[in-house]
Structure formats: C-alpha cells, structure tokens
Structure 1
Amino acid sequence: MKYLLPVCLFFSSTLLAQNIGDRKFVQEVATVYSIEQGLPAGPVDKIYWKDNTLTAQAKGTSYTFQDESWVPATGKSPVRNIEKAPVPKGTRVLAQARYKNSWAVGTDQGLYLYEGKKPVKLYPADSRYSWSLRNVAALTVDSQGRLWFGADEGVGYLDGKQWRLFTGKEGLPYTKFTCAAAGPNGTVWFGTERGAIVAQNDFFRYRASRRWLPNDHVLDIAVQPNGTAWIATRGGISRIEPREMTLEAKADYFTNQVETRHNRMGFIAQNELTKQFQIESSQVAISDNDGMYTAMYGAAQAFRYAATGSAKARELAIRSFRACKWLVDITHEPGFPARVIIPADWHEPVNEQYGREYNKKRQATDPQWKDIYPRFPKSKDGKYLYKIDTSSDELAGHYFFYGIYYDLVAKTEQEKQEVRQVVGDITDHLIRHGYKLTDHDGKVTRWGDFSPEYFSSVYGYDQRGLNSMMMLSFLNVARHVTGDVKYDAEAKKLRDTYQYHIFALHPKEYFPAENVVPWDNNLCLMSLYGLLKYETDPALLLMYRQSLENAWLHISKQKNAFWDTIYESLADEFTRLVDQKAFARTDLFPENHLYAPSVVKTHYRAANHPAYILENLQKIPLDLIGYTMHNTHRLDVVLDGTPGQSEDMGWRTDGLALPVDERAHVRQDRDGFALNASEGDGYSEHEGTFFLLPYYMALYHKLLDR
C-alpha cells in the first residue's frame, strides 16, 4: 500500500525546468449546497450527470443545477435509466454494476458475478487476505475496466484475474458503504455512512466533516468527466472539484484572504463568523497572541521579499514590524510587549469579561493563574486598551520576526535602528527584572518567567528546558541585531552559573502527556531558529544541533510544513559548517574528545523527508474555517497508547499524522496527532499565514526542489 501519494500532478516534462512555485498541482475545493441554494431540507436521495445536465432527486422532486443554484425541474428532465440486475436466490441486493457484458451483484450474502443466467459467488483473495464477503453495498467499474467493491471486510478490485484487497492496515479509512462511482484515470469514489472515500493509485483520501460535506451520511455520488464529484447526502449536496493550481497562486489567494478579512489595524489574527460556516459574516476579532501571529505573518512576507523581490511583500513586512513594535511602545514600561491593542470603544467589554470573577475561575484549575486587574489597561493617550499578562508565546514571535526582518527587510540605517531599539528594549526589560516579563503590578506574568529561581521551583521545573533555550535564543538575537556584547555576557552568565545551555539540550517536554502541548513545539522550533542561526561558538553549536534533533524527532511524524522547514533549514546550515571544518578543532570538549565527532557524525545531515513539506503545502485547504472533525472511528488510525494520553490522539497505520486536509488543523501551533478536534466549530476563519509562512520560508531556503 502506498501511503505517500505524489500530490503534485505535473502536466508536462518541460515543467521540470519551471520555478517550483509555478508548477501545477491539483487542489481539491469543496462547495456545499443546501436550502439557501434551492434544495429542500433533509436528504438528497439521488444525483446523476446525463446529457451535460446535473440532476438531483429529493422528496420526490427532480432538481437541476443552474448558475450555482438548484432549480425544480420543469418539463422533461434527463432520466437515469437503471436496469435491474437479477437477484441471487436468498439474498438482498445492495449494489449492482455492468461488468464485461454481464452483471456483478452485491448482496447482503456476498458478491456474485453472472455467467449467463447463473450467479457465481466470488471469494476475493490476494497475497494477504481471503474473504467471504458480507454486505457488498458498493460496486462500480472504473475507467480501466476494473471491478471495485466495498463490503464489511474492506475494499477490493478485480484487475483481469487478480484481486487487490484493502483494509485499514492498507489505508482504508472506513467501511459501512452506501454507494460507489467511477471517475477519470482509474479514480473511484465510495460513499459511506460517515463520509466519502476517494481511491486513486491504491491510495485513499477521506472526505468528511463540514469542510467537505453538508452531512457525513452519503446517499449517492456522480462524477463528471473532468473529475468533479457531486455527493448527495442526508443534508444537502457537496461539489468537490479538482482545480489546477500553483503554489504562487495559492500564496496570492491567502495573502488576499489575510488582507481582506484578518487585518485589524495592522494586527493579524483569526476572525469571527456571526453565522456558522458563512465567510460573508466574518468580522475582525482579537486573539490571545496578536503579536505572535502578526510576527509570523510579517516573517512570511520578509521571506517572500527575500525570495521574490516583491515590493508589496516588503511593504507588508514593514507594516507588520510597526504593529509588533507598537505593542511594545504602548505599555507601562519600555520593553514590555502587550498581547493585543484595541480601540478604547471596542465592542466587547473586555475588562468585565476578564475581571476578578474570571480570574477566580481560572485559578480553580490553574493555581498559578494571575489575578490582575485591569487586564486591558488604557493607553496614556486614552485612545486604546492593551492586554497584558504577556506570555512566552509573544516573545517567541517577536524575536523570531525581528532577526529575520533585520536581516532581510531593513535596509536604511533608520530601519535598522528601529529594530535595534525594540529588541534592546525587550531584552533589557527581561534582564532588568531578573529574566522575567513584569506587569504593571510589578509582578511576573503567568507564562513569562525565564529566571533560575523559577526553574528550581515546583511550579517551573517542567519549563526549565524550553525557557532556558528560549532565553539564550533571545540573547543571541539581541546581540546579532544590536551588536552589543553585553548580551553575550548575560548569556555566558546564564550558562556558567545556571547551566542554561545544559537545560537547553532538553528543549521541550516529552512526558507526561499532560505536559506536552503543541504550542510549545512552535515556541521551541521558532526559538531554535534564532539560537542556532546567530550562534558563533562551535561547541555551543554542537550542543544546540543536538537540541534541535531532540525537539524535531518528537514531532517529526506530524508532517507540519513549518516545523519541518525550520528543522531542515537549520540542519542544512549545520551540514555546511561541518563541510567547512568548523568543528575540526581538537580543543572542543577537552574532557571528552569523542563528543564533538560523535555529534558531527550523527547529525551531519537533516533526517526529515523534504517531500513532506511540499505535500503538506499542496494539501492545505483553501478553506481555513475551523471545523469540528472526528477521526477516532477510522480503520486506518492507531490510537496513542502513551500512559496518561487522551483518548483522541493517534496517527495513521504508517506511523504518520493524517493528511492535513483530513484533520481539524488550521493553525501552526496545533497537534497533528489530534484525531478529534475543533477550532471554533465553524464560527471562525483562520489566517492564511498557516500556508504563507512555511511556503515562503521553504522557498527562501530552497527546500522545495528536493
């Protein structure tokens, strides 16, 4: 069974010479039709394509598809003539198909092939399985003449005289079939009671949830010659069409999506939908980490500018930098970044929503939750409110972006000085307060403590590895941007006195399960980027390369394009340094001369699969509404058996996360192994940075042509 489908469909060998961003691939796009488009409420029983007309049947009425609406048929509409197959004695017919001038009949008792008037029961078998079938509810013949069936046991096809059979072990997501339809190029669509399945080149794609269907119970499927599938369900119709697209066109789409629906005063965040699933009802919203998400968008545009020279990208990167800097400039003390800035007349009563009662409720589950009020102080000019109790998430975003912006976008001395100022202000604030983000009440924020005392406490021991590494990264970025060696001195003190570099070898939590949260993966990888990129000491680089590998291995099976891109870009730079003999010195780690050559040998090359980055980018849906998606019922998943792990975590039987378009994954800081998840249940749309940052970063680092 092939688990890695080549998702990029090339249309000419000459495309090999094209820029990767201009090569065409197939992007599946779903459109849902229900009452608003003219269909009656409830099930649509049949759908078929005949005489270039699409017809659906619901509640005894025929509807034809015209101008994106369904119209009750007037006069004579195309009729689908269905021959009735003979019924094998003692069975109940569930499906039928014409096969080689005869009948294949699926029944509750098995699969039959008629030889003349005589039904012969078939017992499909290949090198792995031998089946006596039950409930053969799906039958069709594909464009290559192969007979396909769907039954309780699984899926199979007869190619000549050879059977090929599939279960969950081979990637089949589900059974409980209801119908089947053949498409072009050997493609077959199956309907089930919980979604639709596409079989192509012995690989299965699963289309379920409101992202793809109005209702998961599929009743009928029709496929047009161009591959567009029309799926009738118990709650309406879905059109899933294959569109030729390029990565550059996809990037343009998402940049427009961000600028049109996710830009609030220069800050980038998810939006809210006042009507479930309806993009037209979107309104700007605030997140808990506007600074981080704006920084990530700014970094995407900075990489875009460096890779393409786009003047518009530079403009957007500068705007994002100014927004992030504003978060720092507006607060009570130089260097303290706010989470959010909103107008003073914002439509939500935020200080009432996040008042004393809110804090008490949070402390019931989190004893360290900070009881601070107001959580949204007013700016000095009285025009704005800004959110405090800032976390390490914000700092990770700021420092990640500032180094990239300084290197790739800032050109003039004034532009560079602006970066030096804000980086210096934040870093000096942390140093001045003992490596703590300190609020307007003079106390550390809930998630902003990077101090040695915190790491030695019962409350902060589990943050020691991540926060030690992050603090060293912040100091590396500060020294690189400002040129001030005092930040090197601070880093040396943290290493020599408090062993921060040793703690950084364990840069995130791996166990117990309750301590392993996906946003820490984001903070970790983003901070490792600045840590390794700006480190000059070869001994520390060896240690940090080991830290990078430890962090990445834990999430290497999630097929996250952003995390894989950070990892591979840093690992490639390490390879370059090894080739330049940067670690050939004999005075590195004199207490053990074997350590340096061991790290060089073990981690010389990146261990990821570069093709996964491209696959993930192509599979990211154009629709980034946060749908609720369930996958624990699937036959092709294995539940995570880690002690203490929640019951809805797992991966495909090949050990890799489900494809990104089959899981509720529309933000970078989410877990690809979450089988049941939601991101707003259809009441929010998420920003296209989800695609833009890994794409432009990978393009800049030349990782997509491998």
Structure 2
Amino acid sequence: MSALYAPLAGATALAGATNGVWALISGQWQREEGGPAGVMALASEPNGIPWALAPDGVWRRDTSWQRVHTIEDDVLAHPYGLLPQGSNEVLVAAETGLFALAGKRRYWLKLEVRPGGLLSSRARAVAWLDADHFLVATDKGLNLSNGTRGWAPLTGAEGLPILDLTHIAAAADGTVWFGSEEGVIRWKSGRWTYLAGKRWLPDDRVTALAPALDGSAWAGTAKGLAHLYYRKLTLADKAALLQVDLESRDRRHGYVTQMHLRAPGVVEGALQEVSDNDGLWTGLYIASQSYRYAVTKAPEAKAQAWRSMQALLRLESLTGIPGFPARAVCRTNEPQFGSRSLRSDPEWHPSPIEPGWYWKGETSSDEIDGHYLAWQVFYDLAADEEQKRQVRATCKRVTDHILDHHYYLVDVDGQPTTWGFWGPDRLNDDPKYWEERGLGSLEMLSHLKVAIHVVGEPRYERAYQELIREHHYALNTIPAKHPGGVSHDNQLLFLAYYPLLQLEKGPGLRAIYTESLKRSWDALRADASPLWNFIYGACTGQPCDVEAAVEALREMPLDFIQWRMRNSHRADLDPSHRRPLPWAERVIHNWDASPYHHDSGSDRSEADQTVWLLPYWMGRFHGLIE
C-alpha cells in the first residue's frame, strides 16, 4: 500500500498500490478499471472527484480514470503528493519543489522558496485546510497558504513536533493529520499531538495517511495499518476499564506491581514482578480501592482493598522480626523465585514463620510510607472492626520497632537498613544527611500521627511532641522539597503530607505543615500531576489546578504497556524543562519517576493502573472532581 484516500461516495476508501487503484466497497477491496499503476498519492477536488499521482503523470477519475498531464523527470523529479484545485488545476509536491499546472498550454510552474514564503524546495505533501487555504509539508516544516501571495510558516517554534513531514490528511471536522518517517502528528484546535512508537503505530515510518469523516485517521506503515481515533469516555467509564485491566492480571498473593511481558506488547501470560517496593505499590492500590469504596460502596472495592491489605500485613508477619516489614515476599514454587537476580541476592531470607516463603530485607523508608498511608486510608474508609484490629496490631508492631530502635529499621543482621532511619542523630546532627532532613522529619511525624490515630498508644504522642519541641522536626519540614531532590522523593513527600494533614488538627502545626506542602507543590506545580494536585487540594482546601489534573487523567492512555518512547529529536521541546510532554507522548511510569524523561520504555512491561486510579478516586472522595 502506497497511498490512502477516504471518504469517497460509494466507497469507504481508495488505496493506491503498485498494481493500480483499489476501492473498499462493502468491506471488500475491488480493483478499479483503468486506474494508474504505482500510485504515490491520492486526493480529491473540493467536489470529491479523486485524483491520483503516479510516475507517468497526474490522473483524474470522473466517470473513469483519465490522465490529465504527464510528469517530466527533468523538471518535476520525485513527486510525492498532489492538491487538485479544479478539473484541470493541480499542485504537486516534489523533491525538487512545489509545482502548479499553469498556462494555456499547460506546463509545470515551480513556486520559489523565499523569506516569508515557501519554507523549502523539498515539498513532500500538499492538502486543503479549507476552501481558501492549503497546507504544504516540507523537510523544514509546514506552510499555510491561500495561493502564491499569502504564506505562513509552522515550525517547532509554533509547536510542530517533527519538521520533515511526508503526508497530510485533513478531516472534515478540522482535524489535520501529518505523517513522517518518525510517526504521526495530529493538529486540532491549535494543539499538536505526537503519536509515535508501538503504542500507536505498527512502525513509525508512515507510508500512507487518510482521514475519515469522524476526524480519525488511517495510517499505513511498512509493518501494517493503524486506525487512530479518540474515544469519548467519562472519567468514570475510564476508571471502570482500567479497574478491569488491573484485576485481569495475575496479581500474585494480592500484591499489585508492574507486569513483565513475555513478548513486546503481549499481556497474556505476563508475570507480575517481585519488586523492591511491593509494599509501597500495593499500599497505593489499597488506598485507591478504599477511596473507591467510600465513594461507591461497591462490595468488590472493599474486597479488593482487603485482599491487598492482607498481602501488605503479610510483609511484616513473614519476616519473623516483630515490626520489620519485608520489601517483598515470594514462594519457592513461583516462577519468579527461580530468577537469577532473586536467587543471587543476599537480601532474600527464608521465612521462619511459614516454610516455602522467602522475604527480602534492606527495607527502606519508601516502603514504610506506603504502609502507613494504606493503614490510615483503609482504616478510616473501608475497614470493619476485625480488619481494623489486624491493621492496628501491625501498625503497633512497626511503630514500636522504629521507636524501640531509636528511629531505625533494624534488619535480620541486627544492623539498620541503608535508608530506614528517621532519628535526630542523623537528620539533625550528621551533615552527611542534611538532604534527608526535611523528608525524614516529615515522614516520621506523619507515621507517628497515623499510629496515634490507629493505635492510640500514649508513647506515640510523647514521641511526636518530643520530635517537634526538642528536635524542631516540624520546622524541618518547611524546606522539605529542595532543588537537589530526586524524583522519587517527590512521591514520598506527598504520601507523607496526606496522612499528616488529614489527622493534625492543631492550627499552629497545620500552618507549618501547610507552608511546607505549599512550597513543595509550587516547586512541582509544572508537573501537572493529578496526585500532587489532589493531595494539595484535599489537605489545604485551596485551589489546586483541578483543570490540569483532569486533563492529565483524560490524556493518560488506556494502554499501560510501557512502550518505548523517543522524544529527544523533537523540534518543539522546551529546553528549560518548564513543562512535561503530554501523557499520550511519554511512557507511563509510577509517580516516583521524572515526567521530563524524553526517551524511555522497553515494550516489555506494563505499569499497574493504580497510577491513574489513585488520583481519580482520591479526587472523587474529596469532592474535587465528579
């Protein structure tokens, strides 16, 4: 297939091929009699009569295919596209320029490149925008024109992602699609969207492009055909679809983490990873389902939250160390247990509690953030009395472990873990850890506040007040977000802010914590993260860029496969990184990843849908969205 054209009266599409022109009629491709061979492009007059560009000339089909004019290689070499302007008038885009069929005796007139005019003599495609304006695709960007006098450029400065364009397809609803060697571009209502990689196309090299009546597009590539369209869904509809996708995967023992695919893009038979952060990711899923239950009272939401909460509690019980949760657990009969990385990792230990289980140590503060958040949200929104009792018991053991060991997590070897520390001896007194001071102080105050709420031990309140009054932990939180912080710390900050500000009622402390949150949110506001925005709104009652959050929820694709995405070559990139690329154009990552990575992805993993479900249901619960 070398060219596509749609729609056409009596047929849904025309296709050009080496052996002629083919029409799609009643679902069947039929070859058109007398059509040209080797068709390179198809287009139509404003009245719908189709034209074809072939090596031997330009052709028109009224009642039958007729050649209108020949093409001479020494004048018009390597033609790519055509724009019929009437029964005997046409523009042709070619490697050697943009040509118009002109004069009484009909000859090819070359339109010259000039400042304020045609961008390049290498014209690749030409198409109508409306009855008065047409578009010219070149190797240096786009031109808009109403003829030989009026010209306007569209390049990276105007938002065009790829300059070297090869195809144009303008739909009746005003959507314009562009093809290139590096993917498809959509231009609609002043907004550019770049669609490349296997999330959208079988291959990035576009060989044919055609619009449909509904504003969608068909893109032919060297490896197959893609239909690109926008589906109208409410956010509630999208939540239901993503929930089904998440639960349809094999969620081992109730944990929810990313999936490893056996082949690129194939979710069937995928294995869920045994990660370094099973507790964190599963904790976020528990929170999402607790909010969902609070909003909908759906029994399955509560059941899914409790299933995963039992998995979360198991991380602590299987270690045999009271109050020390594992990073992850795995049964010896699971295929993941046979992996070389797991078997060779010295942090994996057999469970002394249940034979056949292994657990991973070196637990970090990341994990603990996920546990305390999940305990607080599930306890308050979804748990019955027996479930509360079990959560309370585990929360007590973990909090006691931390306090008994002077604000350290102490592993099976009797040594503190690398990142399991929250005490003033490190955060305040050791200059090596000054960067951790704000985050660590915030985390410990948040965890103690959850323990006070869930367990109610007086020692937790005493510890909370001691850290604030004697070790200035509340003041430490104000500059918690500092310029040198890494991306995953942003997630830890916001996961700690939420329980702390939901539970702290003292106006003075709330003023301090809110100032800290405001500074962090301002620093990350350009990320347009729905999770950061909704946490800020839920904790402060202040405007929180709801519109940007909703736009992110709308933009995130339904496909959560972490397809390889490449953007570093784009002409429209903001070198200052003041704003991330749209979600449709970058890899779906968890909230610990930077949204400013231009090139990433592997085609062989799937993010878990909690990335979307948590901010959505949190926003619903707090009345920020409907």
Q: Structure with the greater relative contact order (CA < 8 A, sep ≥ 6): 1 or 2? A: 1
1:500 is matched with which residue? 473
| 1:558 and 2:527 correspond | yes
**SS of the residue 1:398 aligns to:** helix
8 Å Cα contact 2:406-2:423 kept in structure 1:
yes
- Indicate if the aligned counterparts of 1:196 and 1:208 stay in contact, CA closer than 8 A: yes
Determine if the alignment matches structure 1 residue 137 to structure 2 residue 124. yes
In the alignment, the residues of structure 1 paired with residue 265 and residue 21 of structure 2 have an alpha-carbon distance, to the nearest angstrom, of: 27
Moved more, 222-231 or 262-271: 222-231
User: What amino acid maps onto 1:229 in structure 2?
Assistant: A
Matched, 1:150 2:120: no
Q: Deviations over 1:217-247 (max 9, x none)?
A: 2121122222332212233322223222222
Aligned to 1:689: 610
| Alpha-carbon distance in 2 for matches of 1:528, 1:500 | 14
Contact 1:110 1:132 in 2 (8 A): no
Structure 1 Cα separation of the partners of residues 298 and 362 of structure 2:
37
Q: Deviations over 1:396-418 (max 9, x none)?
A: 111111111122112x4333222
For the pair 1:519 / 2:488, whether they are aligned, the reply is yes
Query: What do residues 315-336 of structure 1 show as CA deviations (whole Å, max 9, x unaligned)?
Result: 2122222221121222222211
Equivalent residues of 2:11, 2:26 under 8 A apart: no
SS at match of 1:293: helix
Q: In the alignment, does 2:492 pair up with 1:536?
A: no
CA distance in 1, matches of 2:462, 2:377: 23
Preserved CA contact (<8 Å) 2:23 2:30: no
Partner residue of 1:413 out of 385, 405, 408: 385
1:442 aligns with one of 414, 432, 440: 414
SS at the partner of 1:243? coil
Name the structure 2 match of 1:664. Answer: 587
1:227 equivalent in structure 2: 215
CA distance in 2, matches of 1:545, 1:468: 15
* Cα deviation 1:578-611 (Å, max 9, x = unaligned): xxxxxxxxxxxxxxxxxxxxxxxxxxx43x4221
TM-score in terms of structure 2 length: 0.86
Q: Contact 1:113 / 1:122 at 8 angstroms: preserved in 2?
A: no
- Partner residue of 1:479? 452
Q: How far apart in 2 are the matches of 1:121 and 1:439?
A: 75
* Structure 2 CA distance for partners of 1:144 and 1:551, relative to 1, 3 Å: farther
Q: Which residue of 2 aligns with 1:469?
A: 442
For 1:354-503, list aligned pairs within 5 A: 354=342, 373-410=346-383, 412-455=384-427, 456-457=429-430, 459-503=432-476
Q: Among 616, 619, 626, which residue is 2:562 paired with?
A: 626
Give the SS at the match of 2:161. Answer: coil
CA distance in 2, matches of 1:352, 1:120: 65
Look up the match of 2:172.
184
SS at match of 1:180: strand
Once residues 192 and 565 of structure 1 are traced to their aligned partners in structure 2, the CA distance between those partners, rounded to angstroms, is 38
Residue pair 1:218, 1:234 contacting (<8 A) in 2 also: yes
Q: Which of residues 316, 321, 328 is equivalent to 1:333?
A: 321
Q: Secondary structure of the equivalent of 1:291?
A: helix
The amino acid that maps onto 1:551 is S
Q: 2:572 aligns with which of 636, 645, 648?
A: 636
- The worse-fitting range, judged by mean Cα deviation, of 268-277 and 498-507 is 498-507
Question: Which shifted more, 559-568 or 250-259?
Answer: 559-568
What letter is aligned with 2:554? Q
1:261, distance to aligned residue in structure 2 (A): 0.7
In structure 2, the CA distance between the partners of 1:132 and 1:636, relative to structure 1 (3 Å rule), is: closer
Counting only pairs closer than 5 Å after superposition, residues 198-237 of structure 1 correspond to structure 2 as 198-237=186-225
Other-structure match for 2:46: none
Return the alpha-carbon distance in structure 2 between the equivalents of residues 78 and 686 of structure 1.
52
Q: C-alpha distance in 1, partners of 2:470/2:227? A: 63
Which of 100, 111, 122 is matched with 1:121 structurally?
Answer: 111
- Compared with structure 1, are the counterparts of its residues 391 and 57 closer, same or farther at alpha carbon in structure 2 (3 Å cutoff)? farther
Q: 1 CA distance for matches of 2:340 and 2:127?
A: 60
Q: Tell me, in whole angstroms, the C-alpha distance in 1 between the residues paired with 2:563 and 2:339.
A: 29
Q: CA RMSD in A?
A: 3.0
Where does residue 517 of structure 2 map in the other structure?
548
Task: Supply the AA of the counterpart residue of 1:453.
Answer: D
Cα displacement (A) at 1:345:
2.0
The alignment partner of 2:349 has SS state of coil
Tell whether the 8 Å contact from 2:119 to 2:138 is kept in structure 1 after alignment.
Answer: no
Change (3 A) 1:429 1:48: same
CA drift at 1:208: 0.7
Number of residue equivalences: 588
Structure 1 residues 100 and 539 mapped into 2: Cα distance closer, same or farther (>3 Å)?
Answer: farther
- TM-score scaled by structure 1? 0.77
The equivalent of 1:99 in structure 2 is 85
**Unaligned residue ranges in structure 1 (runs of 5+):** 1-43, 359-372, 573-604, 641-649
The secondary structure found in structure 2 opposite 1:197 is strand
Deviation track 1:102-125 (CA, whole Å, cap 9, x = no partner) reads 323334455455565474737798
The one of 36, 46, 60 equivalent to 2:3 is 46
1:675 corresponds to 2:595: no
The residue identity in structure 1 corresponding to 2:592 is D
1:272 to 235, 250, 260: 260
Separation in structure 1 between the aligned mates of residue 122 and residue 545 of structure 2, nearest angstrom: 40
Secondary structure (helix, strand or coil) at the match of 1:221 reads strand
What SS does the aligned partner of 1:231 have? Answer: strand
2:26 and 2:257 mapped to 1: Cα distance? 34
- Secondary structure of the structure 1 residue equivalent to 2:435: helix
Code of the residue aligned with 1:420 in structure 2: it is R
Q: State the one-letter code of the partner of 1:216.
A: D
| Partner residue, 1:290 | 278
Alpha-carbon distance between aligned partners in 1 of 2:270 and 2:368, rounded to the nearest angstrom: 29
Q: Which of residues 269, 280, 288 is equivalent to 1:300? A: 288
One-letter amino acid matched to 2:586 = R
Q: 1:262 to 1:502 in 2, by over 3 A?
A: farther
Alpha-carbon shift at residue 146 of structure 1 (Å): 3.5
- Structure 1 counterpart SS, 2:173: helix
Specify the SS of the correspondent of 1:82.
Answer: strand
- Shift, 1:457, TM fit: 3.3
The structure-2 alpha-carbon separation of the partners of 1:139 and 1:385, relative to structure 1 and needing over 3 Å to count, comes to same
The structure number with the bigger radius of gyration is: 2
Matched position secondary structure for 1:279: coil
**Letter of the structure 1 residue corresponding to residue 590 of structure 2:** R
Partner of 1:586: none
1:361 aligns with none
Contact 2:117–2:152 (CA under 8 A) maintained in structure 1: no
CA contact (8 A) 1:134 1:153 kept: no
Gap regions ≥5 residues in structure 2: 36-41, 43-50, 59-68
Are the equivalent residues in 1 in contact too, given 2:337–2:343 (CA < 8 A)?
no
Whole-angstrom distance in 2 between the partners of 1:426 and 1:187:
56
Q: Distance in 1 between matches of 2:216 and 2:347?
A: 54
How far apart, in 1, do the equivalents of 2:94 and 2:440 lie? Answer: 61
User: Which of 70, 82, 86 in structure 1 is aligned with 2:52?
Assistant: 82
